[in-house]
Amino acid sequence: MDQEREIIVGMKQRVMMVALFAVITSPVCAAKLSGPARILDGNTIEIEQSKLRLSGIEAPETDQICLDAHGRKWACGIAARDELIKHSNGRTWDCHTTGGDEYGRSGGSCFIEGEDVSAWMVRSGWALSSDPSTHTYVIYEVVASKAHAGLWSGAFIAPWDWRRGNKGTIIIGASSVPIDARELLLGSALLSDPPSSECLIKGAVDRNGERIYHLPGQLSYEQLDMTKKPGERWLCSEAEAEATGWRKAAR
């Protein structure tokens, strides 16, 4: 009797999961967007006032620093964003969106004149495949690494590791990794200066776990030491900050 009850319960759960999957993947939850894109970072765009995160890839954060072929630091996150802006060049994007993330962005696959933008980002070395298990874009990583393109021109940290950098973080690259790469990319002094003169907004996580950004001129801005707390970020615009889950400081 107990076994029969377990089978019935299991069948009900399976039916509920199938129904839920049908709702999630139904056209009601999906949308199509078309038009010129405003590029906020290498992962995030805005079309028709809708914010969208490119699916299947991870581009470097705008404050991310990489090392070039000579072991010198460069603002690879800014470069990735700017290369996507140049590639877009005001052309029309066609995006198919589904679901959303904790920051209110839809996920989506986007195309410019039929070309998969995510594939272009990985193939050009400006992003990594975010889900190697699907093998969707992994082959393009191989192409980019062999060509020493973009991030692969030197050494860098995978974007998901950059956000939580610690002693266990792996430094990767197409060829050799400089012996001092870890100190250069994870050293305590790294965040003391912005990666670019345009990225002057300070982002910090408060004691409640809320992501707060502080603008130059605000009282809190001068009080915030960017080398003291984990999770601190330099941000390049209020639009980028708000699209990635940051709230403006009250003062």
Token pair in block for residue 9: 């319960």
Q: Quote the domain boundaries for residue 194.
A: 190-251
One domain, residues 159 and 77: yes
Q: Residue 131 to residues 59, 64, 84, 127, 141: CA-CA distances in angstroms?
A: 13, 21, 21, 12, 12
Are 38 and 135 in the same domain? yes
What is the chain's Cα-based Rg? 21
Q: Quick one: 110 and 160 in the same domain?
A: yes
Domain boundary among 162, 187, 212: 187
**Same domain? 219 vs 98:** no
Tokens read off for 117: 């933008």
Q: DSSP readout, 172-187?
A: EESS---TTHHHHHH-
Cβ neighbours, 10 Å, residue 83: 19
| CB-based burial label for 216 (10 Å; 0-12, 13-18, 19+) | exposed
pLDDT of residue 2: 40
- Tokens 């390049």, residue located: 236
Could you report the per-residue pLDDT of 131-185, keeping only the tens digit for each? 766 678 999 999 999 999 999 999 999 998 888 766 678 889 887 788 888 778 8
Q: Is the pLDDT of residue 84 over 60?
A: yes
The 10s digit of each residue's pLDDT in 181-204 is 877 887 655 667 888 888 999 999
Domain co-membership, 146 together with 203: no
Q: What spatial distance separates the first Cα and last Cα of the chain, rounded to whole Å?
A: 65
Strand segments (E) across the chain: 30-36, 38-39, 44-47, 50-54, 57-58, 66-67, 73-74, 92-98, 106-112, 115-116, 128-129, 155-157, 171-173, 201-205, 211-214, 233-235, 247-248
DSSP bridge partners of 33: 95
211 near 179, Cβ under 8 Å? no
- Residue 9 included in any domain: no
Given pLDDT bands bounded at 50, 70 and 90, which one contains residue 41? Answer: very high
Query: Residue 90's domain is classified under what CATH number?
Result: 2.40.50.90
User: Is the Cα torsion angle 105, 195, 183, 220 positive or negative in sign?
Assistant: negative
Domain total in the chain: 2
